[in-house]
């Protein structure tokens, strides 16, 4: 009976320990390092949540003038806080420039490497997973 209980406990532990690993993705699973992109626009939404902070911004197309909403993935909140970010670093309406890598699926998403405040030129890191989880 004890062996069966021990075996069941170990099996359950093994299954549960793999769930977080499969839920998180590596950079290369979603983004393409060979497709760098730099965008400038205005912050529309900030999702300060785990496992990644997501910022959304409206970007004006240079040719047509049409606005498109882009999302960019940054590192986790604790990593960004450790490099000087806080929940109030960016505000809705702030103009920013973001450098990063495009999504593999062609959607208007990117992984950010750096964020620059347009008004001040202050360059902030983005906690990118590009060099960590390839």
In this prediction, residue 4 carries a pLDDT of: 53
Comparing 134 with 116, the larger pLDDT belongs to: 116
Residue 70 three-state SS: strand
Burial 46-74 (b: 16+ CB within 10 A, else e): bebeeebbebbbebeeeeeeeeeebbbbb
Full-prediction pTM beyond 0.85? no
Q: 25-125 sits in which CATH class?
A: mainly beta
Where along the chain do its domains lie? Answer: 25-125
Whether 6 has a pLDDT exceeding 70, the answer reads no
Residue 93, classified by CB atoms within 10 Å of its CB into exposed (0-12), middle (13-18) or buried (19+), is exposed
pLDDT level of residue 1 (50, 70, 90 thresholds): low
The residue to which tokens 């069966």 are assigned: 4
When the pLDDT of each residue in the chain is averaged and rounded to a whole number, the result is: 83
């Amino acid at each position: 009976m004890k062996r069966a209980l021990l075996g069941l406990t170990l099996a359950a532990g093994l299954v549960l320990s793999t769930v977080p690993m499969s839920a998180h993705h590596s950079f290369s699973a979603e983004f393409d390092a060979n497709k760098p992109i730099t965008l400038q626009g205005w912050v529309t939404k900030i999702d300060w949540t785990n496992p990644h902070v997501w910022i959304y911004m409206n970007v004006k197309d240079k040719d047509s003038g049409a606005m498109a909403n882009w999302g960019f993935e940054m590192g986790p909140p604790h990593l960004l806080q450790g490099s000087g970010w806080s929940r109030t670093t960016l505000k809705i309406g702030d103009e920013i420039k973001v450098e990063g890598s495009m999504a593999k699926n062609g959607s208007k998403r990117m992984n950010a490497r750096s964020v620059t405040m347009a008004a001040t030129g202050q360059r902030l890191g983005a906690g990118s997973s590009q060099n960590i989880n390839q």
